Amino acid sequence: MKRNFCLMLILFVVICGCLENNPHEREIKTIKPGVLTIGVINSNAPPFVFEKDGKLTGFDIELITEISKYLGLKPEFKRYYFHMLIPSIKANEIDCAVSAITITQKRKQEVSFSRPYFETGQVIIVRNDSQINNGADLKSKKIGVLEGTTCEDIAISISKSAPLTIVGYKNADKMFNDLKNGSIDAIIYDEILVKGFTKEKSPFKKVGRRLTSEYYGIVINKDNKALLDAINAALFEMEKNGVYMKLYNKWFGNFTQDYT
């Protein structure tokens, strides 16, 4: 009898442990009950976040939608300028944010990041007729960057040894339009995001090597560890069951597709 009781007690502990590690069984705190409110960039950042035929789509959109399903929540999107995504997380306007957001130590002081889900780096983009070939050629040039991004950090770092003019933008579309019309000489931008702007017959080209190596993560409020753990568990499950690779192959198997 005593032995059977011990076995039942062990079984109970094991079952409780399994339930604790299952995000479906946890109480996940969200701003709206039953809804995952997600912040995304309000400009086109193909192939991660962009509008097509009036609908929000892209790798990040489909990734976070799948995660929402895993958590049993309905995804709801709110759009912001990139530099406002983290402040909006901290102000509890949104539950999480996803828009090719690089994990950095500076940002980790303010918010939490999920496990990395994508690797990329910063590169230099110029017009096809430009004489700029590498970072050294940026001296005395006007360089466009998206405000609040690691692109801006890299430009500031380069400017310390090669004086240049940094032009900040809130919108990537405006930045690329200014590069096209000659208002700026070059852009520093995430390599993978550049694919959407440098497709076949594009007026732009990438020059030189990667300036950095970076990883993207989903941003969550530091006070919401249950949501962080649940999102990490969902990402792990998606990697294990092949859903992640299915999305990856869909969006990155052919970089020449028309994203815009």
Distance CA(238)–CA(241), nearest Å, equals: 5
Residue 16 corresponds to which tokens in the numbers above? 């409780």
| Sign of the CA dihedral running 185, 188, 193, 198 | positive
Angle at which helix 59-71 crosses helix 243-252, to 10 degrees, equals 160
**pLDDT at site 260:** 35
Sheet containing 74-80: order of strands: 74-80, 35-41, 96-97, 219-220, 112-113
Q: Does domain 122-212 have CATH number 3.30.70.120?
A: no
Distance CA(177)–CA(217), nearest Å, equals: 28
Q: Are 57 and 45 in contact, with CB atoms under 8 Å apart? A: no
Residue-wise pLDDT tens digits, 79-106: 999 999 999 999 999 999 999 999 999 9
Cα separations (Å) of 198 from 174, 201, 258?
15, 8, 11
Q: Are 76 and 37 in contact, with CB atoms under 8 Å apart? A: yes
Distance CA(48)–CA(42), nearest Å, equals: 12
Q: Do domains 30-119+216-252 and 122-212 have the same CATH topology?
A: yes
Residue 169: DSSP 8-state: E
**pLDDT at site 195:** 72
Q: Enumerate the domain spans of the chain.
A: 30-119+216-252, 122-212
Residue-wise pLDDT tens digits, 173-211: 899 999 999 999 999 999 888 876 766 668 999 999 999
Q: Are 204 and 128 in contact, with CB atoms under 8 Å apart? A: yes
**pLDDT at site 26:** 55
Record the pTM. 0.78
12-24 burial, b at 16+ Cβ within 10 Å, e below that, comes to eeeeeeeeeeebe
pLDDT at 143 over 60: yes
Residue-wise pLDDT tens digits, 2-19: 344 343 333 333 334 443
Closest CA to 251 of 82, 60, 42: 60
What CATH homologous superfamily does 30-119+216-252 map to?
Periplasmic binding protein-like II (3.40.190.10)
**pLDDT at site 63:** 98
Q: How confident is the model at residue 46 (pLDDT cuts 50, 70, 90)?
A: confident
Instruction: Give residue 19's identity as a one-letter amino acid code.
Output: L
Query: 3-class SS at 119?
Result: strand
In this prediction, residues 23-36 reach a mean pLDDT of 81
In this prediction, residues 152-156 reach a mean pLDDT of 94
